[in-house]
Amino acid sequence: MLIYISRRLLWTPVLLFLAGLLIFSLGSVTPGDPAELMAGPRADPESVNRIRERLGLNDPFMVQYLRYISNALKGDFGESYRYRGRAVFELLGPKFRVSLELNIVSSVVALAIGLPLGFWAAMRQGTWKDPSMTNFMLFVYAMPVFFTAPLLILVFALWLDWIPVSGWSGMFSRQAVLPAITIGLPGAYAFMRYMRASTLDVLGQEYVRTAHGKGMGQLTVNTRHVARNAMIPIVTILGFSLAGMLGGSLIVELIYGIPGVSRLALEAVFQRDYPILTALTLLGSGMLVLANLVADIMYSVVDPRIRLRA
Amino acid sequence: MFRNLLITGASLVALFAIACAGAEPTATPVPPTATPVPPTATPMPEPTATPEVERESASVAPTATAIAAATQEAKAQATASAEETATASEQVETVEDSEPEPAARDFDPRAGGVFRLLGVDPTTLDPALTTDSTSYELVVELFGGLMRLTDDPNQPIVLDLAESFEVSQDGTVYRFILRENLVFSDGTPLTASDVKWSWERAALPETGSPIVKEFLGDIVGINDIVDGNASSAEGITVVDDTTLEVRIDAPKPYFIAKLTYPVTFVVSRDNIESGGGSWTDSPVGTGPFVLKDYEIGVSMTLARNERYWDRPAYLDEVQFNLVGGSALAMYENDEIDISGIPTASFERVTDPADPLYDEVVDVPPEFFTHYIGFNSDLPPFDDVHFRRAMNYAVDKELIVEAVLQSRVRAAYGPLPPGFIGFNPDLERLEFDPDKAVEELNMSKYADPETRPRIVLTASGTGGSPSAWLQAVADMWARTLDVQIEFQEVEWATFLQEIDNKQLQLFSLGWSPDYPDPHTFVDVLFRSDSTINPTGYANAEVDALLDEATTEPDPARRIQLYQQAEQIIVNEATWLPMFWGADGKVLVKPHVNDFRFSPLGGYFFKDVWLEKDVDF
Amino acid sequence: MNRSEKSPASEIDYVDALDLEARDGFIRHAWNEIRKRKLAMFSVCVLVILYSIGILAPIVATHDYTETNLAKPQAGPDLENWLGTDRLGRDIFSRVVWGIQSTVIITVITVLTSSALLGLAFGMAAGFLRGTVDIVISRAGEVVAAVPDILLVLIIAATVRPRIKEFGYWIEDNTFISGVISSGAIDFIVLGIAFLPLSWFGAMRLIRGQTLVIRQMPYVDAARSMGIGTPTILLRHVLPNVITPLIVSVSFGMGAIALGEVVASFFGIGVQPPRPSLGVMIGDVTARTGSAAVETLRNHPEQLLSPIVIVWMMIFCWNAIGDALNDILNPRAR
């Protein structure tokens, strides 16, 4: 196991390097020149060239990327093309935090809905309630945010006037409620399925039957043994859901006017702001790889069989 | 220049990543002036940002004279020819309290409160680099110069930091007297040498201002600095702390009008030298507001400048929400104080039964003309019959009414109604499907098999072109069986391609830089103009334009322009689409003195709120 | 995109569950199981209908999708326009029908190129050849999978379009083929390329896992000892056995790709007008930033809901089938 983890740890920087390279190289495929974008409309060729020099855009592609990476290691993710003179990190940092916060609350909502429902469904396996609940949650899961987000705004912000329409003031503010539900509700489906499967697993285990045999009450068995043990494997996928949601919050952030990374990211896509895109990729990939790693370790901690196998 | 900015801003908003072409007016909530402009992707080229300054100024010269003329006319209630004004304004003296007295009202303005609106990140807050409207609107709140613009069409230019100025007999030396005890927003005193320093700094190559030659290049010595041959301009002399003498290269009465533009604003040397590359994070200026807080893409807060030379602003703060979101919902939920009206809600909001109806405020019409340009050098638009066919085939009135809810007017020529030189009797190419087919059959491109591919280009980020463009394309397809393709390119590239006359067919808008037909007819259609996006060339038109430039009689001059315009319209190098019309925005009832001017822009200094808003 | 796509547990489970005894007649077995499940059966029916509508769009549509009717903009549903009209008076029903066709084309293209071709080839190569080939393919897959998927789709779609379009013009100008641009072929190629990196990986992993198991089987050893070459073994013994995981990964991927197409078109870098797409329709009525979504929902709900309901159904049905197959293959979680 240790060897496995250390091998993964060694692979991680290589993976990030290659993922960054993938995005960075796309920049050279596009026609057009970031220097022209930076110089603005109708700038003279001379000043465009000056900018090109300053950014090192005349260098060979690999040189540019290696320079970018070596600077990134020092914490300098370069300078945005669109926001002249702004460090990418300075631009991205606060927005990344907001997106992260949004995804954390959303995950909490997803867990809070998904886990009890999954447990509930598993306990009713064999009745009509189990598949009905699963299907209903799938129905919710498939609901496009283009519909949920405006619907929630219309009902809760405009008609009932309970919650502000837009903005963000931290994950514990009222503004967080609607976006968290918008992302968390469909997200609950995955948790529900895992919880259901995991609960069924536990229900089939020896010790649950033993507990019943010892004459423990149904409720005690359920809470003390089944639910608790069933939740353990869920921990391992939590990281994934966090890392994966970052993409999912794109449209939600736009509709709710949340100052997360989405606007910056889209703007960067359209304006070919590759320093920002590469930094975003490195951050996003980094999180996903980290989640992978944590999941691996968790798995071995939670499930001793894996440790033995290794 | 100034009028262009707003529209440019609108297009920048459009360019701004997602709000691409066809974006609803709400996508551009900031400039309320942008609201009535349906094609938010209506990019207005920026003549002043053109590198070829020499040719530029040549075209600006005679017309900017007209600015002075217009101003003079308004004051004197008399007609004076442009030439006369140039020589007559030996001494222009303006009183300090030049602003019109506000109309009497039942209650007085009160200080306090926060005004909230949606905004867009400015490209820059450095006055020397400001070329777009988003930046412009903020920069004029934070900084000031010797002169400034007002929202009063009768008196568009007034004194700002200058208390008065005199012009020498030959019209080349300006002596500015600054107001007493001027201070920057950080409390340090402002003297004439600060003005000199600011102008020279704007001209330095390392400042990188793309427009400094345009606005300050008339001053003797400035161009040498721009070219890197000098560090000080001999034409600017600091006589004493409040007196500045400026020598320009030729008598140019419009010089004074240029001093309203940000590149000429006064900046603080301390601020720039200590702040380095990021000095605009905490800019020090002389505007009615100071920058309190700015987080890119999140919010920007302006606070009242207590040290403003005139009566300080009423508002405590102006808060820009830079994130965006569902504008009208935010407005209804009291999260912002002003909002455009999205197309989907236009019917509802403008219905007197709707509670929002009372909050709808009319915005005076803007001067602008939106058109679809035919590049007359590229086939199939090198054939006048084909161009005319394309003109006759489009029912603009229907599009305006059905698609744009009459927020604009159907246009038939370059000059918009109400503008100097507008010709109500212009012979128009009105919608006529029969004539369209007739013209098509006369053209050499009647056969669809051999007709070249037609691509219509607009500025945007790809995706759907504006609804009205799709309607136009459908009319061409149905009346003429002419199929076109759409292409969207992002704003900077779009302008470059227009400059290079690469685009065959494009959708573009134009706003006047100065109140004179020259800004439309000459700049856009003279064969050797830098701007002329369609590459139109007609010797007869050129001759008329040449004559108009030097014609001393204003009435005759207008006539010449109208003659040229008529030829241009007949030759159909444009499909004129829209003229500005009355716009509508929503403004919260507790907001007072939020006025819109046909000159564009709005000023927060006079805005006041009846009560503080809880939020 | 589809959140279940990347979850580690599900992939592990599939491989476990591909019990070789169930191999024979699996498809018949799966079909029998699906027929027993009402929801899965319902989903299959809905998808068959939707895909038929898409394929038969020219017949099903009641109007030309570009035909504007400015006398009747933003009208509600009536007998003439079953789902009402949009801002230009175009028939929403016909546009939805053609929009479905766009989605159908892009899902089929992606499945064929990405899952079927790349996933199959790489998966079998990695699983059968092992060694360096396996490492390179698996690692490359990991790198691509690590990039946030929506971001990757948007970046690729935005960057490759100009090049592909040049190519389209070249074809139109230099060959007898015409209508490459107006048919939307360019958009489908662009989107196909954009979805390529994120859809082959899932299929590849499942197929690789299955191939690893099969290459240990006695009959493969026997074939090899008889001197039969690798390509023949792959074709005759491995390929028939990896169809099952392929179907599973495809059915899970389809919903995600349909949604991906909608998102890309929503932002204006997917399917381009005049060709309608569900994403373009949603983008048109929400001002592309989503800022007008509330207003449209309030004032003209049919304009927003018509395309959304279709997207909703597609994602729901594909996932329902995926879930059902998952259950059938993975009896442990049943």
Query: What percent of chain B lies above the pLDDT cut of 70?
Result: 78
Chains near B with 3+ CB pairs less than 8 A apart are A, C
CB B408 within 8 Å of CB B400: yes
Gyration radius (Cα) of chain B, Å = 24
- Is the backbone peptide bond immediately before B380 cis, with ω within 30 degrees of 0? yes
Give chain A's end-to-end CA distance (angstroms, integer): 5
CB contact under 8 Å between C287 and B398, yes or no, is no
Contact in structure between A168 and A98 (CB atoms under 8 Å): yes
Residue B61: other Cβ atoms inside 10 A: 15
Query: CB contact, 8 Å: C290 with chain B?
Result: yes
Considering only CB atoms, A247 lies closest to which of C148, C262, C315, namely C148
- What is the pLDDT at residue C249? 80
**What is the number of other CB atoms lying within 10 angstroms of the CB of residue A308?**
9
Kindly list the distances between the CA atom of residue B519 and the CA atoms of A257, B11, B91, B117, B601, in Å, as whole numbers in the listed order: 39, 20, 27, 32, 19
Q: CA A68 → CA A84, A212, A297, B257, distances in Å?
A: 17, 62, 31, 46
Q: Phi/psi class of residue B112: alpha, beta or left (left: φ > 0; alpha: ψ in -120 to 50)?
A: left
Question: What would the two tokens of residue C279 be?
Answer: 């994403």
Share of chain B above pLDDT 90, in %: 27
Asked whether the CA dihedral B456, B457, B461, B467 is positive or negative, the reply is: negative
Mean pLDDT of the region B196-224: 86
pLDDT at B90 over 60: no
Closest residue of chain B to A257, computed from CA coordinates: B325
Q: Which residues of B touch C296 (CB under 8 A)?
A: 344
**Chain C residues within an 8 Å CB radius of A237:** 7-9
Beta-carbon separation of A11 and C6 below 8 A: no
The 8-class DSSP code of residue B424 comes to T
Residues of B in contact with A44 (CB under 8 A): 51, 210
Encoding tokens for residue B553? Answer: 């009689």
Amino acid at A262: S
Q: pLDDT tens-digit profile of B288-317? A: 999 999 988 888 999 999 999 988 999 999
- A30 Cβ under 8 Å from any chain C Cβ: yes
Exposure on the CB side of residue B227, measured as CA atoms within 13 A: 8
Looking at the partner chain, which of B210, B299, B325 has a beta carbon nearest the beta carbon of A256? B325
C57 alpha-carbon distance from chain centroid: 19
Q: Among A35-49, A76-90, B202-216, B403-417, name the one with the lowest average pLDDT.
A: A35-49
Alpha carbon distance C184, C207 (integer Å): 32
Beta-carbon pairs below 8 A across chains A and C: 165
Using CA atoms, how far apart are residues A162 and B472, in angstroms rounded to an integer? 44
Other beta carbons within 10 angstroms of residue C240's beta carbon come to 11
Cβ(B269)–Cβ(B194) below 8 Å: yes
Per-residue model confidence (pLDDT) at position C79: 87
The Cα angle at residue C77 between residues A140 and B477, in degrees rounded to 5 = 110
Longest dimension (CA), chain A: 87
> How big is chain C, counted in residues?
334
Interatomic CA distance for residues B70 and B513, integer angstroms: 13
Beta-bridged to residue B586, according to DSSP, are B339, B360
- Kindly list the distances between the CA atom of residue A64 and the CA atoms of A26, A271, B45, B273, B359, in Å, as whole numbers in the listed order: 13, 19, 34, 31, 54
C204 by Cβ neighbours in 10 Å (0-12 / 13-18 / 19+) ranks as buried
Q: Is A269 within 8 Å of chain C by CB?
A: yes
DSSP state, residue B103: P
Please give the pLDDT value at position B230. Answer: 87
pLDDT classification of B174: cutoffs 50, 70, 90: very high
- What is the distance in angstroms between the Cα of C158 and the nearest Cα belonging to chain B? 9
- In whole angstroms, give the CA distance from residue B499 to residue B55: 14
Searching chain A, which residue's CA lies closest to the CA of residue B120? A263
Nearest to A267 among B17, B298, B493 (CB): B17
Q: What is the pLDDT of residues B498-528, one digit of tens each?
A: 877 888 999 988 877 666 787 788 878 888 7
* Pair B185, B306: CB distance under 8 Å: no
Report the b/e string of A220-229 with b at 16+ CB within 10 A.
ebbeebbbeb
User: B260: which 2 tokens?
Assistant: 């309203």
- Reply yes or no on whether the pLDDT at B594 is more than 90: no
**pLDDT, average across residues C100-127:** 88
Record the pTM: 0.81
- As a whole number of angstroms, the distance between CA C277 and CA C116 comes to 24
Cα distances from A8 to residues A5, A13, A242, B545, in angstroms, run: 5, 9, 20, 74
Measured distance CA(B334)–CA(B592) in Å, rounded: 16
Residue C126: helix, strand or coil by DSSP? helix
Instruction: Copy the structure tokens of residue A148.
Output: 């949920």
Q: How many whole angstroms separate alpha carbon B490 and alpha carbon A267?
A: 11
Answer whether C282 touches B (CB < 8 Å): no
Angle between helices B467-480 and B433-442 (to 10 degrees): 70
What pLDDT score was predicted for residue A277? 85
CA–CA separation, C86 vs C63, rounded Å? Answer: 13
Among C6, C39, C154, select the one facing A240 at the smallest CB separation: C6
Touching A: B residues 319-378, CB under 8 Å: 321-326, 329-330, 332-333, 335
Alpha-carbon gap, residue C43 to C27, rounded angstroms = 17
Residues in C 57-96 with any Cβ partner in B closer than 8 A: 66-68, 70-71, 73, 87-89
Provide, for chain A, the percentages of residues in helix, strand and coil under a 3-state DSSP scheme, each rounded to the nearest 5.
80, 0, 20
| B18·A32 Cβ contact <8 A | no
pLDDT of residue B195: 94
Q: Are A187 and A110 in contact (CB under 8 A)?
A: yes
Residue B61 confidence (pLDDT) above 70: no
Q: Rounded to an integer, what distance in angstroms lies between the CA atom of residue B322 and that of residue B119? A: 5
Residues of chain A in contact with residue C145, where contact means CB-CB under 8 angstroms, are 288
Subunits touching A (CB < 8 Å, at least 3 pairs)? B, C
- Quote the pLDDT of residue C24: 53
| Antiparallel, parallel or unpaired: β B236-240 and B360-363 | unpaired
Check if the beta carbon of residue B342 is closer than 8 Å to that of residue B328: yes
pLDDT over 70 at B21, yes or no: no
Give the pLDDT score at B323: 85
ipTM: 0.84
Q: Between B23, B345, B403, which is nearest C295 by CB?
A: B345
Work out the pLDDT band at B238, boundaries 50, 70, 90.
Answer: very high
- Percent helix / strand / coil, chain C, rounded to 5: 75, 0, 25
| Highest averaged pLDDT of the listed ranges A51-55, A154-158, C27-31, C53-57 | C53-57
Q: Give CA angle at A299 (A7, C152), nearest 5°.
A: 65
Among residues B18, B22, B14, B19, the alpha carbon closest in space to that of B467 is found at: B22
- pLDDT the model gives residue B102: 46
A254 in B contact zone (CB under 8 Å): yes
Residue C21, pLDDT score: 44
Distance set, CA B529 to CA B55, B572, B590 (Å)? 8, 18, 48
User: What is residue B199's three-state secondary structure?
Assistant: helix
- C294 or A219: which leads in pLDDT: C294
In a 10 Å sphere around its CB, with 0-12 CB exposed, 13-18 middle and 19+ buried, how is residue B258 labelled? buried
Find chain B residues with C-beta within 8 A of A259's C-beta: 295, 297-299, 322-323
What are the residue ranges in chain A where pLDDT is below 70? 1, 29-33, 37-44, 84-85, 206-209, 211-221, 224, 236, 239-248, 299-310
- What is the number of alpha carbons within 13 Å of residue C101 lying toward its C-beta? 20
pLDDT at C239: 83
Structure tokens at B586: 């929503």
Task: Rounding to the nearest 10 degrees, give the CA dihedral for residues B203, B209, B214, B220.
Answer: 0
Residues B328, C295 contacting (CB under 8 angstroms) = yes
Q: What's B266-311 look like in SS3?
A: CCCHHHHHHHHHHHHHCCCCCCCEEEEEEECCCEEEEEECCCCCCC
| Whole-number pLDDT of residue A40 | 60
CA distance B567 to B542: 11
Contacts of B198 (CB under 8 A, 6+ apart): B264, B265, B266, B267, B269
Query: Residue C97 in contact with residue C57, Cβ under 8 Å?
Result: yes
Is the pLDDT confidence value at C6 over 50?
no
Q: Which residue in C has a C-alpha nearest to residue A11's C-alpha?
A: C139
- Chain A CB contacts of B354 under 8 Å are none
Could you give the CA distance from residue B347 to residue C74 in angstroms, rounded to a whole number?
11
- Write b or e for each residue in A69-94: b if 16 or more Cβ atoms lie within 10 A of its Cβ, otherwise e: beebeeeebbbbbbbbebbbbebbeb
The pLDDT-based confidence of B530 (bands split at 50, 70, 90) is: low
Which three-class secondary structure state does DSSP give residue B361? strand
| Residues of A in Cβ contact (< 8 Å) with C320 | 135, 138
Interface subset of B 372-401, CB within 8 angstroms of C: 395, 398-399, 401
Express each pLDDT in B115-163 by its tens digit: 998 888 887 889 988 777 678 888 889 999 998 877 776 777 889 999 9
Q: Do B461 and C269 touch (CB under 8 A)?
A: yes
- Separation of alpha carbons A57 and B481, rounded Å: 46
Query: Which residue on chain A is closest to C318 by alpha carbon?
Result: A142
pLDDT in tens, C161-188: 878 888 888 887 787 777 777 677 888 8
Size of interface A-B (CB pairs under 8 A): 123
Residue in chain A closest to B491 (alpha carbons) equals A41
C305 close contact with B: CB closer than 8 A? no
Q: Nearest CA to B291 among B162, B151, B127?
A: B127
